[in-house]
Amino acid sequence: MMEVNTPALETNRLILRKFTDNDIEALYQIYSDEEANKFLPWFPLKSMEEAGSFFEERYGAKYAQPQAYAYGVCLKKDNIPIGYIKVDMEDHHDFGYGLRKELWHQGIITEAGKAVAAQVEKDGLPYITATHDINNPRSGQVMKNIGMKYQYSYEEQWQPKDILVTFRMYQLNFDGREDRVYKKYWDNSKVHFIEKDL
């Protein structure tokens, strides 16, 4: 596999690095918890075998791309992934994250998110976007904590779970174009609106 640009990053408490095939058990711990994955676009993993396939499909494929921001979030004390954070290279540059629930409310994803945002800005990405289910406002707080701004809300029939979800879309522009808003979700949804006081 060719070497790609996923530079390891360090913060006060964390190492952000590529997942490897030695992390299958850690991936299973992250992606199998029903509560931690409730608002995410996949069903929780049911077995280590599923975790292995998930690693190949989700991370192996990403790391084969010329530029890939798909990190395991690890505590420095043991360098074992406890969560993940990523920025997609498609035109939405979607910023996403997840964390094992016993480590929630410690600012871990905010700390990781600021480091990844700084890296993608340094590498020349013009902006990132992120979306969260309106029933998961804590995720929106993470977006605000790293400097993202609410832009609009929209409905989507979410797959593969096949449920109707209202999402809030946040964006952070790095190139000084504060007026730029990524509109594809808005344009693709029949129901879209701007909420006040967010």
Question: pLDDT (tens digit, 0 to 9) for every residue of the chain, 198 residues total?
Answer: 334 466 799 999 999 999 999 999 999 999 999 888 888 777 899 999 999 999 999 898 888 887 789 999 999 999 999 999 999 989 999 999 999 999 999 999 999 999 999 999 999 999 999 999 999 999 999 999 999 999 999 999 988 888 899 999 999 999 999 899 999 999 999 999 999 988
The model's pTM: 0.92
**Is 62 strand, coil or helix?**
helix
Residue 3 lies in a domain: no
Is position 1 within any domain?
no
Structural domain contains residue 21: yes
Number of domain units in the chain: 1
Question: Please, which residues bridge with residue 73 across strands?
Answer: 16, 83
The answer as to whether 156 is a domain residue is yes
What pLDDT does 4 receive? Answer: 45
Domain that includes residue 143, residue range:
9-193
What gap in Å lies between CA 129 and CA 156, rounded to an integer? 16
Residue pair 90/31 in contact by the 8 Å Cβ criterion: no
pLDDT of residue 2: 35
Cα atoms found within 13 Å of the Cα of residue 157, Cβ hemisphere only: 2
In the prediction, which pLDDT does 85 show?
96
Question: Is residue 80 included in any domain, yes or no?
Answer: yes
The predicted structure's pLDDT at residue 158: 87
176 burial class (0-12, 13-18, 19+ CB within 10 angstroms)?
exposed
Residue 139 has a pLDDT of 94
What CATH number does the domain containing 48 carry? 3.40.630.30
Tell me whether residue 4 is in a domain. Answer: no
Residue 5 has a pLDDT of 60
Residue 168 maps to a domain: yes
What was the pLDDT predicted at 36?
86
Residue 110 within a domain: yes
pLDDT of 1 reads: 32
Residue 72: partners with Cβ closer than 8 Å, 6 or more residues away:
16, 17, 18, 19, 23, 26, 81, 83, 84
